[in-house]
Amino acid sequence: MLLDIVILPPKNTRKLIATVTKKIAKKYPLRWRVDDRKLIPHITLFHILMKKSDLPKLYEKLERITRKHKQMNLSFTDVRPRSFALGISVKNTPHLYNLHKEVVQNLNQYRTGVTAKKFFFPIKASSSLERQYLKKYGKPRVLKLFLPHITLCLLKDQSKNEEAKKFAERFKLKTFKADTIAIAEINGYFQVTKILKTFKLK
């Protein structure tokens, strides 16, 4: 199974993001967009390739982690192209980083392979730290290289990314309360297609 441990924004924030991507789609041809129906807005904490039979253990471990972490206010910073898609950055607070770190270090034991090989495009590890993380955690941009964000869409013409970025910046996305962690199924573009189980931060 290809899964993502995510922060699931509240419904009003997800709806706002879907509205933004709909407006982008009216101006630029897209391959896909996060619409809160087929593709659900989220902040990735850890991608993991694992056996379905280990899901109950994963649920139990994640429930223990969420009981230790308080709800947090998160704020959007800037819109930027990320690897291949357009996304909006989220401020990496100490609280958010510590949650990410605990999820990665505690759930990596259930990983069965290199997660990066399951995506529709090559995941490059250009530095020694990225290569180390790729080998140990299946993805190169975790822990010290963690860059929290919410993906918005993938443009058909990626030469328009900068233009679309400026257009998306017109929509002022605000701070939101993060209180829900989810285990989700994802597709080869890292996008959440189905929520399997949710957990509340304390």
Domain residue extents for the chain: 2-200
Tracing tokens 């309360």 back to the chain, one arrives at: 177
Please answer whether residues 139 and 49 qualify as being in contact, where contact means their C-beta atoms are separated by less than 8 angstroms.
no
Label residue 169 by pLDDT band (50, 70, 90): confident
Give residue-wise pLDDT tens across range 91-105.
Answer: 999 999 999 999 999
Q: CA 16 to CA 59: how far, in whole Å? A: 29
The residue with greater pLDDT, 98 or 174, is: 98
- As a whole number of angstroms, the distance between CA 27 and CA 115 comes to 34
Task: Band the pLDDT of 127: cuts 50, 70, 90.
Answer: very high
The pLDDT of residue 83: 66
DSSP 3-state assignment of 192?
strand
Superfamily of domain 2-200: Cyclic phosphodiesterase (3.90.1140.10)
Q: Average pLDDT over the chain, rounded to whole? A: 92
Confidence of residue 106 (pLDDT cuts 50, 70, 90): very high
CA-nearest of 73, 30, 68, 65 to 191 is 30
Range list of β-strands (E), the chain:
2-7, 30-33, 43-49, 72-74, 76-82, 85-90, 149-155, 176-178, 180-186, 192-200
What are the φ/ψ torsions at residue 91 (nearest 5 degrees)?
-60, 130
Tens-digit pLDDT profile for residues 35-92: 999 999 999 999 999 999 999 999 999 999 999 999 999 999 989 887 678 999 999 9
In percent, how much of the chain has pLDDT > 70?
Answer: 99
